[in-house]
Structure 1
Amino acid sequence: MRSLKKTRRIQVIALAVVALALSAGLIGYGFRDGINFFRSPSQVAEAPPPPSEVFRIGGLVEEGSLVRGEGTSITFRVTDGGASIPAIYTGVLPDLFGEGEGMVGTGSFVDGVFVATEILARHDETYMPAEVVDALKEQGVYQGPES
């Protein structure tokens, strides 16, 4: 009787280890491209991603670059002071989106243009995502209040 209990316990422990290893592998596979919060325009200009890759880009909307087209189509440039990437977005923009403001966009880089599927803007007059602030400080163009 003791041998059967011991065998069952070993089977349960082995099954738990296999399940844990499988779940850790699936989590790692899911995060393989998603751990990076966003790329700065300098990183995109330096190493352009393939058109099939969906990623996030963050920076400032370049002054004088925002052009509203027909309907809901908008073109603008995203900059971090070191590089400037042209972008296009079709849809309704957040209310606080504007020139000189921080933004993070999700999309792909096709023929030298970032084609955004989603645009996020800061949520009040003083907030900017920490990752965007860090990228702008790295380029030496951050002019906001120190935190």
Structure 2
Amino acid sequence: MTPTRKRRLVLVALILLAVGIATVLTILALQQNMTYLYTPSEIIAGKVPADARIRIGGMVKENSVERGQSLTVGFVVTDGDGDMRVEYEGILPDLFREKQSVIATGSMQGEKFVATEVLAKHDENYIPRDVAEAMENAHRKHDVPESADKPTP
């Protein structure tokens, strides 16, 4: 092998190594910053990793908003199959109200969800696509009888 070929081979190997390292670092950084969206019924079913930062999506249940001292607010998010208590300290969006689509970011602390951010949409007919799909999947799993999973002879 000539010295020129050796240099090219080493250069190509170094470039591939650098690209591999950059890819691994990018994937690790993205995984640390990801927050997954769950419905209340998925959280109740235990599909949420412990101490993970997640998003909960659904509708604010009617007559569930409780305002505490200063900026503390508690409310229930529902997907029709399950209800989850959410506590938030801060200023809620102007568009936040009961029977309204909401997404809250935070983590589970015991049986309640403690939110660090709450987002609401202005149109009461709007449900974010992620929330709508998750709620539809939860309903589908809830409504399917056990015999439907087994093939008929």
Give TM-score, length-normalised by structure 2.
Answer: 0.79
Gaps of 5+ in 2: 140-153
1:52-67 equivalence runs, <5 A: 52-67=51-66
Give the superposition deviation at 1:36: 6.0
Cα RMSD, aligned residues only: 2.1
Q: For residues 90-112 of structure 1, what are the alpha-carbon distances to aligned partners after superposition, in whole Å with 9 as ceiling and x for unaligned?
A: 00111111111111111110011
Once the two structures are aligned, what percentage of the paired residues are identical?
A: 33
What is the letter of the counterpart of residue 4 of structure 2? K
Asked if the contact 2:89–2:116 (Cα under 8 Å) also holds between the matched residues in 1, the reply is yes
Counterpart CA distance in 1 for 2:138 and 2:98 is: 19
What is the letter of the counterpart of residue 39 of structure 1? Y
- Which protein has the bigger helix share? 2
Q: For residues 22-59 of structure 1, what are the alpha-carbon distances to aligned partners after superposition, in whole Å with 9 as ceiling and x for unaligned?
A: 22222332344655640111111011542x32111111
SS in 2 for 1:38: strand
Asked if the contact 1:54–1:106 (Cα under 8 Å) also holds between the matched residues in 2, the reply is yes
User: Cα 1:68–1:45, aligned 2, differ >3 Å: closer, same or farther?
Assistant: same
What is the letter of the counterpart of residue 100 of structure 1? K
Give the superposition deviation at 1:138: 3.1
Counterpart CA distance in 2 for 1:63 and 1:87 is: 14
Counterpart CA distance in 1 for 2:38 and 2:45 is: 11
What is the letter of the counterpart of residue 18 of structure 2? A
Counterpart CA distance in 1 for 2:32 and 2:78 is: 23
Whether 2:95 is the aligned partner of 1:85: answer no
Asked if the contact 1:81–1:139 (Cα under 8 Å) also holds between the matched residues in 2, the reply is no
SS in 1 for 2:25: helix
Counterpart CA distance in 2 for 1:16 and 1:129 is: 42
Asked if the contact 2:35–2:53 (Cα under 8 Å) also holds between the matched residues in 1, the reply is no
Counterpart of 1:108 in structure 2 is: 107
Whether 2:68 is the aligned partner of 1:69: answer yes
Moved more, 9-18 or 79-88: 9-18
1:1-147 equivalence runs, <5 A: 3-32=2-31, 37-47=36-46, 48-50=48-50, 52-122=51-121, 124-125=122-123, 126-140=125-139
Asked if the contact 1:62–1:100 (Cα under 8 Å) also holds between the matched residues in 2, the reply is yes
